[in-house]
Structure formats: C-alpha cells, structure tokens
Structure 1
Amino acid sequence: MLRAALTAATLTLASLVQAETKVPTSQAEISLGFAPLVKEAAPAVVNIYAKRLVAVRESPFQGDPFFQNLFRDFGTSRPQVQNSLGSGVILSADGIVVSNYHVVGMATDIRVVLNDRREFTASVLLADEANDLAILQLNEPESMPYLPLRDSDSVEVGELVLAIGNPFGVGQTVSSGIVSGLARTGAAAGTGQGYFIQTDAPINPGNSGGALIDVNGDLIGVNTRILTRSGGSNGIGFAIPANLVAAFVDQAKAGNKRFEKPWAGATGQPVDADIAESLGFSRPGGILISALHPESPFLAAGIAPGDVILAVDGQPITSGAEMIFRMSVAGLGGTAEISGIIGGQPDKVEVALIAPPEVPSRDTVVTSRRSVLPGVVVSNLNPALIAELGLPLKEEGVVVEELGEFGSQVGLRVGDILLAVDNTRIEEPKNVEEALQAASRRVSITVERGSRRVTLRFRL
C-alpha cells in the first residue's frame, strides 16, 4: 500500500515538473493546475485606462425628490472628465488590441498597461457600440505577446476555460470555469442584441474586454457582460465569440472607422413550438420571415414572406441576432448559403452579403437660422438610414437625424418620422425648411415615433 502511494506521488511530481515547461495537453495535466497556461497567456491580456469628456448638466433642482425629474434638462451643461477601467487582449505582434466599446468608446485618452508594467498610449481604429467591440492600435509598439484566435464555432459546451482580466481594478486576475452555453442572444444577456458564449468562469466589473481562453491558450471570446442581481459574478457571464472579433480586425485593417455588417432587409420571428406545430415541423427552430424590404438581398435570392430560414452557411439559427451574427462573420462582398423551407420546399439559395444600400440617394437638409428650429438635420429614409437609426423596415418618409439647438427642448427625438408641421404635410426634406420658416407663433409638429403618432406643440 505504501509502495503504491509512493509510486503515485513520484508520478505526480514528475507530471508537475513537466507541466512547468509546457501547456497542459491532457486531462491529467490539467487537473494539476493552470499555471503554465496562465504564464503563456497572461502577458497578452492588458489593463486599459480611458478618459472621456462628458457633458454634465448642473441643475439647481438636483437632489430635490420632486423637481429634479420635472426639470431634468434644466441648468448649465459643463464638460466633465469621466474615467473608465477595463481590460483588453493583444491580437498581433504589431500591437492590435481588442476591447469593449463601453471601455474605450468616445475616449479622448487611452492608456494600455501590460502585465510586465510597460505602458503604451493607444488610438481607436474601429468601434461599434451595438456589438460592444473596439479595435485599438498601440502607439510605437515593440514586439508584443499576443493570443491566437480560435474558430469559435468549434467551441463546445463543457470545455474548460479561463477568464483573464482586471476585475474591480485590483490588477490582473485569472478565474476558471467551463463553457456553459452557446448561441446565447441578447435577451439572455439583458440587452436587445448580440450573440454570446456563456461561461461560469467568474467575470466581474473591470473584466470587460478581457480574454476567455481555452486550455491551449487560444482566444475563444472577449468577456463583455454578466447577468447579475448583486453587481458581482453569479456564474453567468458572456463573451463575444472570436469569429466576430476576427471580422472586426479585418475591417479595422481595411481602414473602416465603423463596423459594416451585411444587411438582410428582412424581419421575422423565431419558430417556437406553436409555430413549428402549425407549419408541420417535427421540432422548433429557424426564423419565419414576416416582411422583406424591396431592396433586400433575400428577396432578390427568391425568399418570400412565409418562408423559414433554418441555417446560414450550414450553421443552424434560432433567432435574428444569430442570423446577423453568421452573416457578419462571413463578411461583406461575398455570399452566404441560406438553407430553409423556401417556396414550401427544402431548398438552398445564395444570398449576396451587401451593406444597406443608399437607394434612393440620401437627400439631407439642415434647417437654417431663419426657421423656428435651426440646425435640425432631416433626410429621406432609405435602407442605409433605416439600419443606422434602427428603424422598422416598413418606415418611409423624412426622418430626424440631429436635433439642432432647440429640438430636444420641444420634444423632438432622433428617429422621429416627420408627418406634418402645422398644416403642411412633409413629403420630402425641403418641405421641413419651408414649413418651419412659415410656421405660426403656435407651432404644431406631428411625428411618427415607433408605433405611435405624437403631436408636439409649443409657442414661439
């Protein structure tokens, strides 16, 4: 018995010595600890300190339980420096770094600190608030340690993972867990959009933008948010898949300042159990197309309302967010294979991956100083503007892009569809300038806002 125990101890010690010099490659080695893996991966995970100027309104009613809500926009607006702390991951030897938009978005000063305490300034190459990703370039980088990107479609539930970041600003920290879910959409993460890998590896404030790596040290995702009631980790964290990160890097290197994702020009709803039964499907899955824009590439490929999209490039989909994710990973300029029930039969079609078109051409008008609302920017709607403002596909007419000096004070909002000013019907952008110049002292503006028609009234 003693001899067997000594033999086991000797084998364990030998394994430990071996594990100090290489990344774990077997379950036996993994069980001994993650130290060799962390030693290789941690240098490529950085701490990010960002500063941004924000306008803060100082109101004399601040703190008053009644009047502070009534006079929320009252008072003087003053610039104030806001600091943010997060993490990032170096993706190439020349200093390309990925982080979250909410860490570095709109920052005026970005400082990146490596694990070995070297510091670099950085500039934003590409940032996208909707996907909460930003690509940075370190200024005057040396040869940088970096993490390779793994094909996130090959990730499986149950894989061991490590989350590396700077939670609560205490310094670089590593936590372990498993992949606990795939294909999590924005609803699971508490937002209306996105597509995520779920993990139970503890992720806390400050971990945002940090690395989620596998046991080979490859990056499978960028930690972005948690689902929590307390503000700390409850074992439900979300990471943006590496395949989308790769698409961002490609566009950043191509010189894009904002992320351009393919436009579907389609709306639909997930096929749940009830819809599946009504369609005669054996199980739920896919998206039932309910509407298509006249310029939609899906319409051009022969897809019609009532068809069901089941897969994009061979990958099954269950939501609109998942479909857009698959198209975004494929990238602009090519095609995607769409599989589903098309025209009542199982079929596959090739759909062009295009940016939302400027058809008809955008006609933009800025109201003059002679109008009652100077500086308001309005344009005729087209697919590009619909996508930019997140409006329903069916919308048409003239939309508010910027509010000018007094637009917000009279109740206008970006995305409002202008229907009439006083008794003048708005059919094209130039009508807005004409109507606002001719407005009476009691002005009435009718807009469509979402599914509601709203009338704004004010006196000059």
Structure 2
Amino acid sequence: MRRFGLLALILGAVGWLAAVIQAQPLQAPRALTSEVRAALERVYTQALPAAVRIETVPEGTGSGFFISADGLVMTAYHVIEDTRSFRVINSKNQSFAAELVGYDEFRDIAILRARVEEPVQFLPLETTLGPRVGEPLLAIGNSRGQFIAPRYGLVNTVERDIFPFFNSIAISTTIPLAPGDSGGPVLNLAGRVVAVVVAIGQPNGVFESYLSPLQGLDEVIAQLRAGRRRDVPYIGVQLFQIDDETAATLRIPREGVLIQGLLRGGAAEQAGLRGFAIRRENGREVYEFDVILEADGRPFNNVTELQRYIRSKEVGDTVVLTVRRGQQILKVELRLTPNPTRRG
C-alpha cells in the first residue's frame, strides 16, 4: 500500500528576509519618475543621519533607525532574534553597544536602546496614514555590501498576505531589497517612516519586497518602548492537511487536520496529544494518530485557518481542542507557549 506524504507545517512559523512567497498576480503600479526619484533622494539625504547598520553576534547584518534622541532604535525583530549581542553603527561610522527593549514577533518589529552619549537625530513615525497603491517610497538598508544605502520603489498592494512567512498583513512594493536590508526604515515623500522592511519574495516569478506597516500602531509602539515582549503563540505541533488519499488510506472522514508530530516541550506534548506513528500488528501496519477537529468549538479542516486562529491569541491563553483519536472524541485544554524549539 502506497503511503501518503506528510507535509510539516508548524504553528507559529515566523517570516524571514528572502522568503519566497506565493501570491496572486498584481497590476503594475505607475512608473517612478525622475522628478519623484529626485524628491526621494532629498528625503534620503535628510534621513541618513538617523539610519543605522546593525551587526549581530553570531555574525549577521541588518538595518534600523533611531526613533528618539536618547538612542531608541527600531528594527525588524528577526534581525536580533536568537543573537547574543548586537551593535548599532550610524552614518558617521560611530558604533554603539545596544540592548533589546521590546519586540512584537507577530508584526516582526523590535525596539533597541543604543548607548549614545549625546542626543541623536531620529526619524518621525507615520502611524495615522498608511501608504497608497502606487505611492513612491524610500527604504534605507545595508544589503549587497553597501552601507546605509537608499533603495527606491512603488507600492504594489497595502494588504499583502504572505502567511506563514509573516504573521501580520504586509505592504508589498517594487523596492529592490536584499538580505541586510531587514529592519530598515521605509519613508514617504514627507520624510516620515511608514513601515519597516521584513521580507522579499518572488510570487509568480515577479520580485516583490515586503514591509511591516506602522499604521495604527501607536499603542503597540508605546508598549514596546515600555518593554513589552510579545511572542507568537504555539501549540507545538506539525500538521498535515487531510486530502482524499489520506482519508482513504487511514479510513477516516476528510475533516479536521492531522497531527504529524509534536515539538519537544510544547503545549501539545505536555497535554498528551499524539503525533503520527506506524506500528506492526499481526504482520499488518497499524496507524496511530490524533486529528484536531475544533479549537474552542470552531471546526477547522484547513491547516492555514487553524494556524491563523492560534496566531490571533496571546502566549499564555488557553485553547480547548476537540480531537479524534481512533473512535474517541477528546477535549484537550492547552496553554499556548512561545516557540518550544527556541526557548528551553
């Protein structure tokens, strides 16, 4: 009997720069004219003193920008995630030790504090008005061996869904970004930061860059400045979408999502849920597995929809799963945790 393939999709995966995103085709925005480019170049000249390069240990490079005169720096969370230390370098090549203040893994933004000795120039944030489709934008970053360099482009869409590589809704643009630009500021023609660089992709063979928008985040940013650290919640499972072949092979209804495996130390393992296993009994293969049918009373037959529901929660929240195990229907209560593979 041919066995079905299992695709591991882990609840709580986070987006990374250079992730390849599958998405719907786009209508091309208007061209970036020479006049608009010249205006963006002037914005770059004014913003340059507030932009920074971030160097991390283990070795890595990212981008960021000052958001206060006393040395607060905004960047993408994944730039400094799982690093032991990092430094901030400004356009004068001055280097400052820095420490993490707060982060929001869901939106992939973080705030650091650089140990500056005197007030620094900083960039104003635009949290009221978001960019529009076709609007020209400037990103400042450190890719391709360049130091705090400008990149120009136009907005493709303001509500791009690149899940599961990025938890929130992204802005997609034509800005030619590359690894090293993550965390850099994205400014409008008024010289205000509207977003932070988080990822790039190539949907349908067309390059796009992705930004985490700042619109509506006044309260979130205030919380991060005050030290809030928000992790994406995890159940701690690897899931498989049940298709017709899987249902026929396992002799189960095509409903719910199958648990392929458990992440060590995760909420699912601690609650006694079971991953997929095969044992032999009287010369025959016997399949053992759990299928998640519902979360908090809501039915889920799609892996992505279940992932989205979990992402809408907070670490520490409780979720009640309805699970089929053989002929039994179980209710299992889980307390959502941060990524169990990263945090021991």
Pairing partner for 1:209 from 183, 199, 204: 183
Residue segments in structure 2 that go unaligned for 5+ positions in a row: 1-32, 234-292, 300-304, 324-330
Pairing partner for 1:250 from 209, 218, 222: 222
How far is the alpha carbon of 1:256 from its aligned partner? 2.0
Q: Is the 8 A contact 1:248 1:259 kept in 2?
A: no
Q: Deviations over 1:208-263 (max 9, x none)?
A: 0001111111111001100049xxx96300000013654442112333233699xx
Q: Is the 8 A contact 1:214 1:220 kept in 2?
A: yes
Q: Is the 8 A contact 1:185 1:321 kept in 2?
A: no
How far is the alpha carbon of 1:357 from its aligned partner? 9.6
How far is the alpha carbon of 1:114 from its aligned partner? 0.5
1:34 aligned residue:
40
Q: Is the 8 A contact 2:47 2:123 kept in 1?
A: yes
Structure 1 residue identity aligned to 2:180: G
The structure with more radius of gyration? 1
| Cα distance change of structure 1 residues 245 and 204 upon mapping to structure 2, 3 Å threshold | farther
Structure 2 residue identity aligned to 1:95: G
3-state SS, counterpart of residue 113 of structure 2:
strand
How far is the alpha carbon of 1:143 from its aligned partner? 1.2
2:82 aligned residue:
106
1:239 aligned residue:
211
Equivalence map 1:289-368=2 (5 Å): 293=296
2:332 aligned residue:
396
How far is the alpha carbon of 1:292 from its aligned partner? 7.6
1:183 aligned residue:
159
Q: Does 1:159 align with 2:135?
A: yes
Tell me whether 141-150 or 176-185 shows the greater mean CA deviation.
141-150
- Please give the alpha-carbon distance, in whole angstroms, between the structure 1 residues aligned to 2:335 and 2:222: 32
- Please give the alpha-carbon distance, in whole angstroms, between the structure 2 residues aligned to 1:198 and 1:114: 27
Equivalent residues, number: 237
| Cα distance change of structure 1 residues 293 and 203 upon mapping to structure 2, 3 Å threshold | same
Equivalence map 1:408-423=2 (5 Å): none
- Please give the alpha-carbon distance, in whole angstroms, between the structure 2 residues aligned to 1:398 and 1:321: 15
- Please give the alpha-carbon distance, in whole angstroms, between the structure 1 residues aligned to 2:332 and 2:76: 34
How far is the alpha carbon of 1:196 from its aligned partner? 0.6
3-state SS, counterpart of residue 48 of structure 1:
strand
3-state SS, counterpart of residue 144 of structure 2:
helix
Q: Is the 8 A contact 1:152 1:221 kept in 2?
A: no
RCO greater where, 1 or 2, for CA within 8 Å and sep 6 or more?
2
Structure 1 residue identity aligned to 2:224: A
1:225 aligned residue:
199
Q: Is the 8 A contact 2:111 2:225 kept in 1?
A: no
How far is the alpha carbon of 1:120 from its aligned partner? 0.8
| Cα distance change of structure 1 residues 212 and 170 upon mapping to structure 2, 3 Å threshold | same
Equivalence map 1:10-25=2 (5 Å): none
Q: Is the 8 A contact 1:105 1:127 kept in 2?
A: no
How far is the alpha carbon of 1:168 from its aligned partner? 2.8
- Please give the alpha-carbon distance, in whole angstroms, between the structure 1 residues aligned to 2:56 and 2:93: 17
Q: Deviations over 1:322-369 (max 9, x none)?
A: 9999x9xxxxxxxxxxxxxxxxxxxxxxxxxxx8596xxxxxxxxxxx
3-state SS, counterpart of residue 41 of structure 1:
helix
How far is the alpha carbon of 1:138 from its aligned partner? 1.2
1:120 aligned residue:
96
Q: TM-score, normalised by structure 2?
A: 0.58
Q: Is the 8 A contact 2:52 2:63 kept in 1?
A: yes
3-state SS, counterpart of residue 186 of structure 1:
coil
Pairing partner for 2:53 from 31, 39, 47: 47
Q: Does 1:86 align with 2:86?
A: no
More helix, by proportion: 1
3-state SS, counterpart of residue 252 of structure 1:
helix
Q: Is the 8 A contact 2:231 2:315 kept in 1?
A: no
Q: Is the 8 A contact 1:201 1:237 kept in 2?
A: yes
How far is the alpha carbon of 1:182 from its aligned partner? 1.0
| Cα distance change of structure 1 residues 28 and 102 upon mapping to structure 2, 3 Å threshold | closer
Tell me whether 212-221 or 246-255 shows the greater mean CA deviation.
246-255
Q: TM-score, normalised by structure 1?
A: 0.44
How far is the alpha carbon of 1:180 from its aligned partner? 0.9
Instruction: Report % sequence identity.
Output: 25
| Cα distance change of structure 1 residues 241 and 29 upon mapping to structure 2, 3 Å threshold | same
1:199 aligned residue:
173
CA RMSD of aligned residues (A): 4.0
How far is the alpha carbon of 1:127 from its aligned partner? 2.6
- Please give the alpha-carbon distance, in whole angstroms, between the structure 2 residues aligned to 1:401 and 1:102: 18
Structure 2 residue identity aligned to 1:396: V
| Cα distance change of structure 1 residues 239 and 400 upon mapping to structure 2, 3 Å threshold | closer
3-state SS, counterpart of residue 168 of structure 1:
coil
Residue segments in structure 1 that go unaligned for 5+ positions in a row: 1-26, 52-81, 262-289, 295-304, 307-318, 328-354, 359-383, 403-412, 415-460
